[in-house]
Amino acid sequence: MNRLEGKVAVITGGAGGIGKAVGKHFVAEGADVLLADLDEEALKSACDEIGSNKASYCVADVTSASDNQAMIDTAEERYGGVDILLANAGIEGDVTPIVDYDEKRFEQVMAVNVKGPFLGLKAAIPAISKRGGGSIIITSSVAGINGGPNVSAYVTSKHAVIGMMKSAAKECAPMNIRVNTVNPSPVETRMMRSLEEGFAPGQAEAAKELMLSRIPLGRYAEPVDIAKIMLFLASDDSAFITGSVYMADGGSTA
């Protein structure tokens, strides 16, 4: 307990399944947490679910440079600084062959999943540096290691943030800021319900069974499974770990 005592964390995608689970774990370990997302009602609900005065929220669009800076400024104003950034906001895009993929939809996925973390890092690095260092975690995916048909935008975006992480890890090491990715396999969240339906319209359960057959541990991850890895990377337990890709995939890339 208290592995994050005195630390301040900003979590984008904070109203979603992984974001909420991470928020709960960070607060339980002593951190002050600012959840950022687009949906204010969902953010209020997430804070209520966390159930602590150590969690608050900020409505923000991660594709906006000014909103990313406002997130960091808000955390500094409320809590005195920033030690941890979890760049977790993401969208799945469409399940469509490349030849049919809408260009604007592709750009939207890139804006949220790649530009969003880039702008988050750009705003957070100076703030974390002022605190003498800290941790940045980017949510990638098993799709950041493997390919997959009909999800080109999502796969491309999740590969891209691994490259971003590796570059940032080397830039930030002299500031004692560690940067890593966590790469989940399917997680029991809204996004997976959307993808299952996209892969097999009207037969989502069949799509899920097929995906489960490719995971040696035989199940999807729960948000809490991912939160525990992110807690480790946020804490001093991982003080010598940077530039790493953490697979949380039930053995699917073994």
Domains and CATH numbers, the chain: 8-187+223-248 (3.40.50.720)
Exposed/middle/buried for 135, CB within 10 Å: 0-12, 13-18, 19+?
buried
3-state secondary structure the chain: CCCCCCCEEEEECCCCHHHHHHHHHHHHCCCEEEEEECCHHHHHHHHHHHCCCCEEEEECCCCCHHHHHHHHHHHHHHHCCCCEEEECCCCCCCCECHHHCCHHHHHHHHHHHHHHHHHHHHHHHHHHHHCCCEEEEEECCHHHCCCCCCEHHHHHHHHHHHHHHHHHHHHHHHHCEEEEEEEECCECCHHHHHHHHHHCCCCHHHHHHHHHCCCCCCCCECHHHHHHHHHHHHCHHHCCCCCCEEEECCCCCC
166: which residues sit within 8 A by CB, 6+ positions away? Answer: 243
Catalytically annotated residues: 154
Cα–Cα distance, 69 to 224 (Å, whole number): 28
Residue 233 is predicted with a pLDDT of 99
- 94 close to 101: Cβ distance less than 8 angstroms: yes
- Provide the 3-class DSSP secondary structure of residue 54: coil
Cα–Cα distance, 123 to 127 (Å, whole number): 7
Per-residue pLDDT of the chain (254 residues; tens, 9 = 90+): 799 999 999 999 999 999 999 999 999 999 999 999 999 999 999 999 998 899 999 999 999 999 999 999 999 999 999 999 999 999 989 999 999 999 999 999 999 999 999 999 999 999 999 999 999 999 999 999 998 899 999 999 999 999 999 999 999 999 999 999 999 988 877 776 777 777 767 877 877 888 788 889 998 889 999 999 999 999 999 999 999 999 999 999 98
CB atoms within 10 A of CB 8: 25
